[in-house]
Amino acid sequence: MYDAPYRVSAPAQITESPGTHTEKPMTAPSVPTVPNVDREILREAIQEEYEVVAREPQRGFHFHTGRPLAEILGYQTEWLDGLPEGSIESFAGTGNPFSLGTLAHGERVVDIGCGAGIDSLIAAGMVGPEGAVIGVDMTPSMLEKAQAGVRDLDHVEFRLGFGEELPVPDGWADVVISNGVVNLMPDKHEAFTEMARVLKPGGRIQIGDILVDRPVPENAKEKIELWTG
Ligand SMILES: C[S@@+](CC[C@H](N)C(=O)[O-])C[C@H]1O[C@@H](n2cnc3c(N)ncnc32)[C@H](O)[C@@H]1O
């Protein structure tokens, strides 16, 4: 099993509420501090690591991958039925976004850090041809594998890009999914602001990721090898 702290799937809902009254004064939510890490160097290190997961999935990593991982995370066999082996073998998620609920027919989905495309392709099956899926990843080899898995589906597409600057129009999506990627983005506030930008009002976020239950020392956050390791 995993040696990392907690791997969870966390739901969140963005809603337009009609304005509720409360006796207590509202306090503004605090914005998390951004770790002192060079984002470009971090991105290069992450890309290097996931290039290998894409090109040599059998090499063996300090994390689980592929079909055995999908099984551990509770992916239903029928979700994987008919998916290309290339997308399955390079699966490297940390949770199961669909454990929070399956997606509805006709929904529009953005998959942030889609990797080799397994969640995007599962989502494409759930939303059907009336829906649409855009998978975004910054690692070219991962995207090539994802692209190869599209085959004759014309309601799923993969775009090269960053989670912090999604190549997706404002208010396009009903749901944002992501699996194992938020933990790799140093500026969490920026990451969630960008998710909110691409969501329609009332849209939702279904994330599988890693949570730690105690503060991480600031100097540890500066070590690139701890982000990728
Ligand atoms: C742990 S893997 C998970 C991949 C995929 N979600 C899955 O479940 O197999 C992390 C992926 O996130 C991508 N990634 C990491 N940081 C990113 C960022 N800032 N923007 C876009 N993609 C990113 C990596 O290229 C890699 O493919």
How remote is the CA of residue 27 from the centroid of ligand 1, in Å? 33
Q: Is pLDDT above 50 for 4?
A: no
The CA distance from 51 to 26, in Å, is: 45
For the segment 186-220, what is each residue's pLDDT rounded down to a tens digit? Answer: 999 999 999 999 999 999 999 999 988 988 888 89
**Residue 169 in tokens:** 């129009």
The CA distance from 122 to 83, in Å, is: 8
Q: Is pLDDT above 70 for 23?
A: no
Q: Is pLDDT above 90 for 13?
A: no
Please choose from 99, 181, 192 the residue to mutate so as to test ligand 1's pocket, defined by most ligand atoms within 8 A of CB.
181
3-class secondary structure, 210: strand
Structural domains of the chain in order of their starting residue, each with its CATH number:
37-228 (3.40.50.150)
Ligand 1 binding residues, C-beta < 6 A: 46, 50, 91-93, 113-115, 118-119, 137-139, 142, 162-164, 179-181, 184-185
CB-side neighbour CA atoms (13 Å) of 118: 29
**Residue 171 in tokens:** 């208010």
Q: Is pLDDT above 60 for 63?
A: yes
Amino acid in the structure at residue 63: F
Q: What average pLDDT does the chain have? A: 89
Please identify which residue in the block is written with the tokens 């055995």: 68
Nearest CA to ligand 1 atom 4: 115
What is the average per-residue pLDDT within 41-58? 95
